[in-house]
Structure 1
Amino acid sequence: MLVLFLVFRIGPTLGAAFLSLTDYRLSGDWAFVGAGNYARLLDDRLFWEALGVTALYTALYVPMTVALALGTAVLLHRTLWLRGFFRGLFFLPYVTSIVLAAVIWKWIYEVEDGLLNTALGGLGLGPVDFLGSESLVLPSIAAASAWKGFGYSMLILLAGLQSVPREVTEAAVIDGANTWQRFRWVTLPLLRPVLFFVLVIEAIGAFQVFDAMYVMTAGGPVRASYSLVYFLYDAGFKFFDFGYACAVGLVLFLVVLVFSLIQRRLVGREVD
């Protein structure tokens, strides 16, 4: 496993770091430019717009997904009847193709005959252009992605809930704590390491968002859903500016690293 990790993870990462310092073209010609690609990024307005879109999407997606996963995990932890069935049912979207899920949700959001606007029409509301509105497109994609991805975090959190010592909860009951107090002051602190892991993996997935935006909106409207990975894709595979694309990837890596360290500081501290 160490050899596989070095070959398929560390090796490509080091290669990308080197390419980010070069002007590498599809023909194989390259020239060393040092920090030139990073200087270009600082002056690239499109890069900053893509970074802002990615940050806003992350701020929408992560709380939505973690809240959905935690709420579902709590319900499954308390449910005794058909627990395995519901666990598989809620996990099913996670193993569905992201492209297929994006196509389904694109139809759900359709203005003319989409499922959601049909339901709103029955209530005398709408229609709402969920994917054509600059203010609604990111929340709409985040909701679809949360439906697609919350199942994995749900299982992780459910395992964490099942590992909470029962005697600690029983002691809180004896002390007179109600359901909310037990959850807030007993369960959540003991769940903190698991919650930290879930927050980190969901944040990493949010920063790397591309497929859903590519399929549902193609980055529109007016680049309102143009993420940083979409910008990287265009630089590398549309304009074949591989050195510049690698620089974007390294910046994304640093952003995710800093964000994970902040989460570690706020959430991941050990509980005595």
Structure 2
Amino acid sequence: MSVEEMPAVRGGTAAATGRTRSAERPRSSMTTRRHRAFYLFTAPWIIGFLLLTIVPMGYALWLSLTTFDGLSPRWRFVGLANYRELLGDSVTWQALGRTGLFAATSVPLSIVAGLGLAVLVNRPLKARGLFRTLLYLPAVVPPVGAGLAFKWLFDQNSGAANGVLTGLGLDALNWLSDPYARYVLLMTVLWAAGNIMIISLAGLQDIPRELLEAARIDGASAWRSFRSITVPLLSPVLLFQTVTGVIASVQTIMPLLLAPDGTTAGVTAIPQSTYLYMMHVFAEYFALGRYGYASALLWVLFVLILLVTAAIFRATSGVVFYNVDPEAKK
């Protein structure tokens, strides 16, 4: 290259570099605007999560290390004393055992009931939309309203359940006491299975019809198609319902709403079979005023939920199948 050509080459290189930089600036500014828009739209949730979740959890962790009673300014820092007391508290372990049994019973029953209803309303029936609406309506009833409704329904003196029994010539039962209270509690959970039905219905409608038609052509029965095709393809939905169901079941407050005396202070009136872990926490907080010990109970429950959730994911890692679009992997 001659000396005369050098300025031209340098000029061409500088022009190309300028065009490259000018092309990079709009791309960079576009990325910055997208980042700003993202944080702008998510800011309400982030602020709410920090103020309503992280801060209360940190405060509860601090309370669990003290003897604070909620009223008196005379409290002291006791370190892990509340946690050591918790380990030796037989009432806590009994309540935790009842809660585990309740979760192991209510979660599978709710999933089976919701899936059964979803299969039913997924069929080409007349007024199918009306049936879906009626079956889903109990799920939108607030827990307080549902608890009070079941309390009136199973009242020993004026409840409709005992009215049916006496009409058949049978003796009235004290439904809200042992040993029947646990069955009433399970009925309140199954009554709201419409939420699981809707989620299962969405999963059923996402299953390719070609697979079911191919299985039918091959001679597979309806039960074989359901067991070998529907359930495996619904496994992510079932996993989601299992995890959320376990978390909800260990935090239930329905036994308090079903208490015979109907008072918040009357935690002791709750039947022994439905005295679950959260009832014990409620009693320690509001009946006994032991905020520090109750906060320790909540933190132990939080850790147990994390461990159980991790165990569920690990145990189901080989049986959950995700329908991923091959193009999405590229």
User: TM-score higher than 0.5 here?
Assistant: yes
Match of 1:271 in 2: 321
Deviation at 1:11, TM superposition (A): 2.6
Aligned partner of 1:224 among 262, 268, 273: 273
Distance 1:108 1:53, change over 3 A: same
Distance 1:254 1:79, change over 3 A: farther
Contact 1:219–1:230 under 8 Å retained in 2? no
Matched, 1:14 2:58: yes
Aligned partner of 1:183 among 223, 226, 229: 226
How many Å separate the matches in 2 of 1:127 and 1:59? 30
Match of 1:257 in 2: 306
Distance 1:203 1:108, change over 3 A: same
Aligned partner of 1:167 among 210, 213, 220: 210
How many Å separate the matches in 2 of 1:172 and 1:244? 57
CA deviation digits over 1:87-115, x for unaligned, max 9? 22111112112222112212222234422
CA root-mean-square deviation: 2.0
Larger RCO, structure (CA 8 Å, separation 6 or more): 1
How many Å separate the matches in 2 of 1:82 and 1:191? 25
**For residue 92 of structure 1, what is the amino acid of its counterpart?**
L
Match of 1:233 in 2: 282
Matched, 1:246 2:295: yes
Distance 1:28 1:70, change over 3 A: farther
What SS does structure 2 have at the residue aligned with 1:34?
A: coil
Matched, 1:56 2:101: yes
1:197-212 residue pairs with structure 2 within 5 A? 197-210=240-253, 212=254
Deviation at 1:82, TM superposition (A): 1.9
Contact 2:66–2:79 under 8 Å retained in 1? yes
Contact 1:110–1:129 under 8 Å retained in 2? yes
1:99-138 residue pairs with structure 2 within 5 A? 99-133=144-178, 135-138=179-182
How many Å separate the matches in 1 of 2:258 and 2:89? 25
Distance 1:123 1:30, change over 3 A: same
How many Å separate the matches in 2 of 1:238 and 1:221? 13
How many Å separate the matches in 1 of 2:169 and 2:103? 33
How many Å separate the matches in 1 of 2:190 and 2:199? 15
Deviation at 1:206, TM superposition (A): 0.8
How many Å separate the matches in 1 of 2:278 and 2:152? 24
How many Å separate the matches in 2 of 1:270 and 1:231? 35
What SS does structure 1 have at the residue aligned with 2:67?
A: strand
1:84-103 residue pairs with structure 2 within 5 A? 84-103=129-148
Deviation at 1:84, TM superposition (A): 2.1
Aligned partner of 1:214 among 252, 256, 261: 256
CA deviation digits over 1:43-73, x for unaligned, max 9? 1122112112212222222122111111111
How many Å separate the matches in 1 of 2:217 and 2:75? 71
**For residue 32 of structure 1, what is the amino acid of its counterpart?**
F
Contact 2:61–2:296 under 8 Å retained in 1? yes
Which runs of no fewer than 5 residues in structure 2 stay unpaired?
1-44, 260-266, 323-330
1:61-72 residue pairs with structure 2 within 5 A? 61-72=106-117
Contact 2:181–2:271 under 8 Å retained in 1? no
Q: Which moved more, 1:153-162 or 1:118-127?
A: 118-127
Aligned partner of 1:38 among 61, 83, 103: 83
Deviation at 1:13, TM superposition (A): 1.9
**For residue 196 of structure 1, what is the amino acid of its counterpart?**
L
Q: Which moved more, 1:43-52 or 1:214-223?
A: 214-223
Which structure has the larger Rg over C-alpha atoms? Answer: 2
What SS does structure 1 have at the residue aligned with 2:234?
A: helix
Deviation at 1:220, TM superposition (A): 4.2
State TM-score, norm by structure 1. 0.90
**For residue 3 of structure 1, what is the amino acid of its counterpart?**
I
Match of 1:139 in 2: 183
How many Å separate the matches in 2 of 1:42 and 1:205? 24
Contact 2:148–2:257 under 8 Å retained in 1? yes
